[in-house]
Amino acid sequence: MNEWTEQVFTWPKGYTSDAVHAKLRYSKLDVGWLVSDVPAAAAGVYTTNQFCAAPTASMKRLIQTNHQLQALVMNSAFANACTGEQGIKDVLQEQQWVAEKLAIDPSLVGVASTGLIGAYLPMEKMAKGIAALKKTTNILLTEAILTTDTKTKTLCLTATIAGKKCTFSGFAKGSGMIHPNMATMLGFVVTDCAIAAECLQSMLSELTDETFNQITVDGDTSTNDAVVLLANGLAENPVVTLTKEEYPFVKELYRFLLTELAKMIARDGEGATKLIEATVNGAKTKNEAQIIAKAIVGSNLVKAAMFGNDPNWGRIISTIGATNCQFQPDKVTVKLNQIEVVKDGQPVPFSEQEVSNSLQQATVFIDVDLQTDSQVGKAWGCDLTYDYVKINATYST
């Protein structure tokens, strides 16, 4: 039976990276790149916000047209969103600078930006930043993309696929404006495993719906969101396709990796003190199970109650009832950290102090059983704290 192993974060074979402080912000790394020795098969999913930022729109066009990339250049501090024709020109210029430096075609260079919306990129600083980048094995790039995040979000897995050791390294950023289809989040997973581009895209499109699209911090969807997968094939395994026997295992590996990155983003929500995981069982359809789970972790009333360690299950029930999903209210069961508080739509005697104490832990589990059918859905969010308001009241000032 195939298994994967978690290891200290490192880049797979054939990838190098770097990051520098280009002075886009006061004292943090803010410009970086990731480079593959050879063109890599590429797949992506992107924000559904109608104000799609120039770099995100460019990345989408490149991947949909060529299905491959060799380099990614990234910056924080400035989103390059709502910047019109100038924003598009700036993306093209970034591509050109990187392409010239690496002696590759500009169409192989993807651009990702995150930060303040409605501000033009300071291109003189970007030029100096890109010029200073080197091809190293450091992982500073994972820091350079952070904005209000409090920590990096990384995960590295290794697995033997068709007799070859393959490494899968994922990293992400995201803390606020998180309510994907997508959110102000960026996610990247790169591997040396040989995987066909259409296989990568099929997996990512399907898995995003149950991973990154099932997290929420504040209900807001950003302009710059993207998740990108690269596979350069330098592990020299036979190419994984949708029909190969290795495909189910590779898909499950990506499911685990993307889920863990998504949970890291939810846990690090702006001002958050705990992760909330909602599981909905017994739904009529998987989509309805996911809708209800995400509604629960997205409810401000539920989030505030979890911050206050308040076992007020009425907020959960009312949130479930506000959806358009099909279920019988008199069959619904709710548990908080495995302690039953509602059965068949009615209250169950429980120790409020015991449940309140359990809600102080770093992860809160809300389990709902609709007892309608057999479908299951999960979602992840965080509590709503005073610090969330403080952070977002002064974001641009």
User: Is 270 assigned to a binding site?
Assistant: yes
CB count, 10 Å around CB of 266? 24
Nearest to 271 by CA among 309, 218, 337, 315: 218
The whole-angstrom separation of Cα 280 and Cα 122 is 46
- Do the Cβ atoms of 55 and 115 come closer than 8 Å? no
The two structure tokens encoding residue 363? 């992860």
184 is catalytic: yes
What is the end-to-end Cα distance of the chain in Å, rounded? Answer: 54
User: Is 184 assigned to a binding site?
Assistant: yes
Is residue 328 within a helix (H) or strand (E), and if so which, with residue range?
Answer: none
User: Is 273 assigned to a binding site?
Assistant: no
The whole-angstrom separation of Cα 363 and Cα 209 is 22
User: Is 236 assigned to a binding site?
Assistant: no
CB count, 10 Å around CB of 324? 6
Is residue 107 within a helix (H) or strand (E), and if so which, with residue range?
Answer: none
Q: Phi and psi dihedrals of 135, rounded to 5?
A: -95, 100
Q: Where are the beta strands (DSSP E) in 142-191?
A: 153-161, 164-173, 186-191
User: Is 100 assigned to a binding site?
Assistant: no
Cα 381 to its chain centre, rounded Å, is 12
In the DSSP assignment, the letter for residue 238 is P
- Check 184, 208, 216, 319 and give the catalytic one: 184
Q: Which positions are annotated as active-site residues?
A: 184
**Which residues are documented as binding site for substrate?**
147, 173, 184, 270, 392, 397
